[in-house]
Structure 1
Amino acid sequence: MLKTTLLSLLAVVAIALLLFVVVIGRERTWEIVAGKPDRGSYDFAEARRSPTSNDALACSEGLCAEADFTIPAFEDAPEAVIERFAQRLLTIDPLARRLDDRDDPSRARFVTYSPVMRFPDTIDLAAQKLPDGRTGVMAYARAHLGKDDLGKNRERLEALFAGS
């Protein structure tokens, strides 16, 4: 009798949670649980990485220590490079939304979500002139929930810079 009552109670709680997620929405549910996904701009100068394997860092040669992969340098101005990759990200990732206020045209910040569960991740982009006159790029993608993103943030950055 007690076992049946507990199972019934668990079923009611599970259904209530499911209805909550359906009514509120997956993205809003994670916001209620874990806070807003916008954690502010990433400081590339400090370059503090996540202590768990749920982030990815990519940079042009000489801009970052311990990058997961290298991004080529570009001939365009930093503002043009950021705008190109911002537009590309919005095109290849329908769940991406720009977060920054565009005050600094050489930087951009986005939130994106996993397709099914809508786990929030952020992507920071920054560009700067290199000593040779070309523009170098830095990109950091990080998950806000969990300890392992199964390589998804690296995949996002690789897709963003593929063919660059």
Structure 2
Amino acid sequence: MMLKTVLLSALLLVGAAVAAFILIGRERCWELIAGSPDTGQYDFSIAQRSATSNDALACSPGLCAESDFEINPFDDAPAIVIERLSQRLLASDPLARRVDDRKDAAKARFVTHSPLMRFPDVIHLEARAMPDGRTGIMAYARAQLGKSDMGKNLDRLKALLGKP
């Protein structure tokens, strides 16, 4: 009898969780559980990485240490580079939305979600004029939840920045 009660309780709990995900929405449920994935602009001068393997960092040469891969500098001005990368991201990821206030045209921040479970990720982009007149890029993507993103954020940055 005790086992039946435990199993029934577990089944009701799972049913309630599924109902909440359906009625409230997956993205909103994760936000209620873990808070907003948008915690403000990433500080590339500190470049603090996640303690777990759920992030990715990519930079043009000389702009940050310990990046996962390098990004070739661009010939356009920082604002133009950020706008083009923003448009590329929004066109390639239907779940992405821009969340920064757009006050600094050399920076952009996005929240996106995994397709099935809608786990939230945040993407930070920043462009800087380099001494040679070109524009360097810094890009950071991290998962809000979990200890591993199974390389998803690294893949996302590589796709956005045209890296194989």
**TM-score when normalising by structure 1:** 0.98
C-alpha separation between the residues in 1 aligned to 2:55 and 2:12? 36
Write the distance in 1 (CA, Å) between the matches of 2:121 and 2:142: 5
1:16 positional shift = 1.1
| Structure 2 letter corresponding to 1:92 | S
Q: Which residue of 1 aligns with 2:112?
A: 112
CA–CA distance in 2 between the matches of 1:22 and 1:98?
A: 25
Q: CA deviation at 1:17?
A: 1.1
Q: Give me the CA root mean square deviation.
A: 1.1
1:21-40 aligned at under 5 Å gives the runs: 21-40=21-40
Q: What percent identity do the matched residue pairs reach?
A: 61
**CA-CA distance at 1:5 after TM superposition:** 1.5
Query: Shift of residue 100 of structure 1?
Result: 0.3
Q: CA–CA distance in 1 between the matches of 2:93 and 2:101?
A: 20
The answer for the alignment partner of 2:81 in structure 1 is: 81
TM-score by length of 2: 0.98
Q: Which residue of 2 aligns with 1:64?
A: 64
- Deviation, structure 1 residue 10: 1.1
**CA offsets per residue over residues 76-121 of structure 1, 9 Å max, x none?**
0000000000000001111000000100000000000001110101
* Per-residue deviation, 1:12: 1.1
Name segments (4+ residues, structure 1) moved above 4 Å.
none
**Counterparts of 1:153 and 1:104 in 2: how far apart (Å)?**
24
- State the partner residue of 1:47: 47
Partner of 1:139: 139
